[in-house]
Amino acid sequence: MISFIKGTVVEINSDNIIIDHNGFGYEIGFAQQDRISVGDHILVYTYLHIREDAMLLYGFLTKSDREVFLRMISVKGIGPKLGLGLFFKSNSTRLITAIEEGDVTYLKTLPGIGAKTASQMVLDLKGKLIEATTNKEILTQEVQEALSGLKNLGYKPKELTSIEKELSIHKEKSVSELIKIGLQLLLKRQGG
């Protein structure tokens, strides 16, 4: 129903964010607070959960994170709140690895996940999550140009691939702004 919201982050809370989109403040359940700041203009892929007493939005910075979340909440015993909680302590890559390897021990370390639910996650999702994250995010022209500019500065393709998702968060910025953000990310990864 609401596939994504593009706007400015006006508030970051422990389990949600508020995004201003054309004067409307959307409260979105969110678990990636460390990747955004107040004032950032971002695009959040959303899932609208409708209950008898509430309509709740849950948001993710990538389509693949949202897809993993949707697969998680399809497992018996995992609702949206618990599904979002998994992203506070883990990430889609780690969750997929644990499920594919049948690592019930790791899954049990996640909040709200017991032995039965962890086993159910492996049973229901093994082999089904890889496809959820193999669809590469489509990069905007500006992000592609910024990556090309960074490549011309001597950065290797592997280094650039590692920052694609983070650059995509700032899709609405200009190429020169994206190059600056990219340089900061690359320097941070090099320990500089």
Q: What is the pLDDT of residues 140-183, one digit of tens each?
A: 778 878 888 888 888 887 788 778 877 877 767 888 899 999 89
Q: Which residue has 């006006």 as its token pair? A: 10
For residue 139, give the nearest of 179, 166, 121, 111 by alpha carbon: 166
Query: Is the per-residue pLDDT at 192 higher than 90?
Result: no
Q: Using CA atoms, how far apart are residues 49 and 68, in angstroms rounded to an integer?
A: 16
Helices and strands, counts by H and E, the chain: 10, 5
The Cα 88–Cα 112 span in angstroms is: 12
Please provide the distance, in angstroms rounded to a whole number, between the alpha carbons at the two ends of the chain: 43
- 64-134 in CATH: which number? 1.10.150.20
- What percent of the chain stands above pLDDT 70? 93
Q: What is the pLDDT of residue 138?
A: 56
Average pLDDT over residues 3-14: 95
4-60: CATH superfamily: Nucleic acid-binding proteins (2.40.50.140)
Beta strands 24-29 and 55-60: pairing type? parallel
Residue type, 73: I
Q: Which amino acid is at 93?
A: T
- Rg of the chain (C-alpha set): 18
**Boundaries of every domain in the chain:** 4-60, 64-134, 141-189
Higher per-residue pLDDT: 62 or 56: 56
Residue in this structure with the two tokens 């497992």, named with its chain if needed: 75
Assign 48 to helix, strand or coil. Answer: strand
* Over residues 38-60, mean pLDDT: 94
Amino acid identity, position 117 = T
Token couple for 125: 């999702």
pLDDT in tens, 99-136: 989 999 999 999 999 999 999 999 999 888 766 565 44
pTM higher than 0.75 = no
What is the predicted pLDDT for the residue at 132?
56
